[in-house]
Each structure stands twice: as C-alpha cells, then as structure tokens.
Amino acid sequence: MNNNDTYVGLDIGTSMAKVVIGEVVGDSLNVIGIGKADSNGLKKGSIVDIDETVRSIQNAVEQAERMVGSKVQSVIIGIAGNHIQLHPCHGVVAVSSENREVDDDDITRVMEAAQVMPMDPAREIIDTIHHEFIVDGLEGINDPRGMVGVRLEMKGIVITGSKTILHNLERCVEKAGLEIADICLAPLASSSVALTRDEKNLGAALIDIGGGTTKVAVFDQGILVDTFVLPIGGNHITKDISIGLQTTTDYAEAIKLKYGNAFIDYASTEEDIPVQKLNGSEDETISERDLAHIIEPRVAEILELINEEFRRSGFQKLPAGYILTGGGAMMEGILDLAQRELNHNVRVAIPDYIGVRESQYTTCMGLINFAYHHVKIQGREVGRTIASSISNGQGRRKKDKVKAEKNPNHDRGSVTKKVKQLFDSFFD
C-alpha cells in the first residue's frame, strides 16, 4: 500500500462515529478500510462528553486499522452546525513571476488576500472555497495556473465557525491519539459525492439525515449558497418508538432498522414484529404498518421543518430538487414520503464505491474526495506533500501554530498553513 496516496475520513455523528480509509490510485479512489462505533458523547450534533467521544473515535479507528493492518495517524474531519457562517470574499494580487505566468504561489497569495476581513474574536476561519478565478478581467476560470496575466483575482466564500466548538472537536481527535490533516465543512464535502455538477448548477438541496441532526446544504449556479442544521434526526424516531411501544431504546432502534417504513401506505400488515415490553409486562406483536404509524409523523415533521426553513430563507425554486443522504435516508419508504411532503422530485444519494454503498457513509467519502481535490487546486502534488511530512511533520505543525497565534485572522484557515501541513503521514 502506498501511504502517500492514502486518506482517512472521520465522521463523528450523534449516534455513530464512522471511519473510512481510501487509497487514491491515479484518478480512482478505492476503499480499503472501514470502521464504525456507537457514539455516546454527542447530543444533537454537539459534544457533551469528551471522554465518551474519544472512546467512540478510537473504537471506529481500531476497526479500520485492523482491515488495513496499519496504524492510522492522521484524519480528515467534518464539521457542521448552525454556528457555521459563510462570508463572500474577494482577493486581488499582482502575478509575481517575471514571465507573468500564474503559478501556485500566486494562487496561495490571492486566497490569503481573500481572507482579510473583520472577524469576531470568538470565531475562526475553517476554510476558503473559490468560486472562480479572474485573470486580467477574464472571468469564470477554475484553475488559472499556466495562464499569462498581470492581475489575479479570486471570488469565493470564507467559512467560519465557533472557536469553542472547533477546539472541543480538535481536542477529542487529539485525545484519541490522532492528528488533524484537514477540517472540512461536512455538507460541502458530502456534496462532492452526493450531487452531480448539473444539480449544483441548476439548484438543489442536499438533506443529510443523521442520528441527532439533519444537515441541509443549498446549491445554486454551482456554489454553496446556504447551510443550516435542524436539531432533529433518526434518534427522535427511535425515542418515539420506545415511548409508543413501551420498550427499551436499544430494542426500538433494532426494530426501526429491521422493520421500519416511513410510508404507511407501503407498510405490510402481515409482518409480525415481536415487541419486548418494559417492566416485565407481557410481550406483544405488532405489524409493520403499526410501526409505520409511529415513524411517518416524525419523518414528515423533519421534512416540514426543512420546508419552513426554505420558505424563511426565500428558496422557492430548486429545479434539481432534493437529494437525501445520511443514515436516516436508508429507511424504507422515505423517498415516497419525501416526494409527497416536499412536493418535488427527490432521490437518495449513495456513494458509488465498493464496500460503502450505503448513504450513511456519504460524509466520510465526501471528506476524502473533497479534501483530495481541494488540495490539487492549491497546486501541490499530494503524494509528495505526505512523503515530505513523514520526517518533520511534528515540527511543521508547531511552527504553523506559532504563526497562527501571531495572526488570528489566518488561524487554521490560512491557505499557506493548509498547503504546508495539509496532510501529515497517515500511517506509521
């Protein structure tokens, strides 16, 4: 296995922590390791117990390590939440080379220039995403390297988040014995594998239904225009089942996964589902349709809350419709219910990679895919960057930390820092 081309995506969710190890060979991404573990340290997407979160991360990583026979050292993590803010940005620099050819250094400088903006001390830059480069007035350029010009501009967005939330997330990963190779906005990363280019250009919403939250990202004309998180997800369905059937949460989760159907009309009346009652009460059986009568109202509520948020935000038309993903999108009948409640075309996105063809792995695969391509646009050979980091990665991280303390506006979000330390070695 070539360590230089290996990436590890870590998705820390409310109900599960998931790890995927991917190996890039040419332009192909192959999954070589998978791990997942119950997550007990988060509530509605926020860390409430660091030690429990650390254990969940370690358990998931250990599973993936056993599959590849190597130790994971560094991971790409995703972040989401209503603390995330998108800031339009615009940077301008003069092309520095004597022959006026745009190179990697010019791209780094123009992205740094775009980050210069007033910022609340309680917030921190997570990433800078380009929408287009402009060379001497020529717009719509995705990669200007090699072009000749005098003036280079970049238009895009700066993504910021709460320092407290970011640092707690970093603390959990570090206490689990791992380094952070990169931090990505989770909905943006997921879109790199869940949405097509046409869907992003026409206008689409990506709905990621997790355990404790539902993350929504809206795209129009190829760019991310809004993102928000609802504090409701699959765990609420489980709780409804537990209360409605007077059974344990674990048993409610088990029958939800095995028999759950989000669309009453399609649920069977013939399937007998055993229910283990609490407090020594006599066990009983229910039908799949009885269970669906508990599930459908909660799923419909989630979809209605999304509709309300769209109306509030002014998004009336999404020509490409809605794309569902995440663990909650794996439930039977949810596609039909979503088409009825959202009154639009809906599909379920599943990662097209062997070993992870389930929507619960969309974020992990998105983190790997997005980070890999995001590095390439910054002008570095990814493999070489990893190889050169093996011997001096720790020293480079410490040096970058000192630089970040001197210039808070360019903390972790500094493109220079990201390019220099982007991926430390992933395996011993």
pLDDT reading at 205 higher than 50: yes
More confident residue, 278 or 297: 297
For the domain spanning 85-162, the CATH number is 3.30.1490.110
pLDDT reading at 258 higher than 70: yes
Average pLDDT over residues 55-76: 94
CATH superfamily of 197-348: ATPase, nucleotide binding domain (3.30.420.40)
The two structure tokens encoding residue 425: 């070695």
- Closest of 221, 237, 214, 194 to residue 309, by C-alpha: 214
The alpha helices in 266-392, defined as continuous H runs, are 288-313, 334-342, 362-377, 382-389
Q: Which fold has domain 3-82+163-187+360-421?
A: Nucleotidyltransferase; domain 5 (3.30.420)
Q: Name the strand (E) or helix (H) holding 29.
A: strand 28-38
Average pLDDT over residues 41-51: 88
More confident residue, 281 or 85: 85
pLDDT reading at 388 higher than 90: no
- 349: amino acid identity, one letter: A
Average pLDDT over residues 115-138: 92
List the chain domain ranges: 3-82+163-187+360-421, 85-162, 197-348
Confidence of residue 377 (pLDDT cuts 50, 70, 90): low
pLDDT reading at 3 higher than 60: no
Confidence of residue 173 (pLDDT cuts 50, 70, 90): very high
Measured at the CA of 17, the angle between CA 13 and CA 18, to 5 degrees, comes to 115
Express each pLDDT in 214-223 by its tens digit: 999 999 999 9
Confidence of residue 385 (pLDDT cuts 50, 70, 90): very low
Q: Indicate if 85-162 has the same CATH topology as 3-82+163-187+360-421.
A: no
pLDDT reading at 1 higher than 50: no
This prediction's pTM: 0.84
* Cα 126 from Cα 25, distance rounded (Å): 28
pLDDT reading at 415 higher than 60: no
